[in-house]
Structure 1
Amino acid sequence: MQPSNKEIGERFSKGNFSFCYDYFAENIEWKIIGNTTVRGKEDVIAYCDKMSAEIGSDTLINSNTIFENNQIAIEGNCRFVGPDGKPSEIAYCDVYRFDNSKIASITSYCIETKEA
């Protein structure tokens, strides 16, 4: 049984990228505002694999999920140790659009906070 769109989005936002690969549309587009845009299933998977290696044991916590029909918005925080060895935190909001139970687009907003 296929997981719900909500579960797929929540898993992705928590950094469980590989769980979601089967639910990417072939022409998926991931916009990371202020950083990059990645297009196409293979390139998004490669970017996710790179991010997985970088975030390692970081803590990603989803704190708020809003969903309606084929759109989901998930807010959360990521706590990690920065390159300088100091703890850091990023607040994020991932906005998903699904088409035929596949993620068609993701727009991610990430802001470093001072609350680490």
Structure 2
Amino acid sequence: MDNKTILETANIAITAGDYEGFLAFCTDDTQWTFIGDQKLEGKEAVRLYMAKAYSEPPKFMVENLIAEGNFVTALGKISMKDEAGKMINYMYCDVWKFREGKMAELTAFVIASKP
């Protein structure tokens, strides 16, 4: 699979609630940086984040998926519940760096949509 297809397949897993299926596409030392928020280092940190942040699977609407070299950029909208169970809508731009066919780094820009 090319990097774009890998990301699309991984996103199908996550929206189905198959977080381990998603993590299978990540390197063991994957790093996720949420700009202005937090940084996760390693697959276990991402696993713990997903268990907390995704009380139910998020809903994605990818508007653009741009692949170049070892990078895939996804722009779109995501909806997920907050800690109180309220559905929140966000706009996002995810920049994924791939290494040897796996997602190694994520730089995520996530902004809550105005109601």
- TM-score of the two chains, using structure 1 as the length reference: 0.77
User: Cα 1:65–1:106, aligned 2, differ >3 Å: closer, same or farther?
Assistant: same
Alignment partners' CA distance in 1, 2:70 and 2:27? 13
- The answer for the alignment partner of 1:66 in structure 2 is 66
Q: CA RMSD for the aligned pairs? A: 2.4
TM-fit CA distance, 1:32: 0.7
CA contact (8 A) 1:14 1:60 kept: no
The residue aligned with 1:9 is: 7
Give the deviation of 1:77 after TM superposition. 0.6
SS at match of 1:34: coil
Provide the identity percentage. 25
Match of 1:24 in 2: 26
Where does 1:37-56 land on structure 2 (aligned, <5 Å)?
37-53=39-55, 56=56
Contact kept? 1:92, 1:108, Cα under 8 Å:
yes
> Measured at CA, do residues 45 and 67 of structure 1 come closer, stay the same or move farther in structure 2, by a change above 3 Å?
same
For 2:78, the equivalent position in structure 1 comes to 78
Q: Which runs of 5+ in 2 are unaligned?
A: none
Task: Judge conservation of contact 2:61–2:77 (CA < 8 Å) in 1.
Answer: yes
Number of residues of Structure 1 aligned to a counterpart in Structure 2: 110
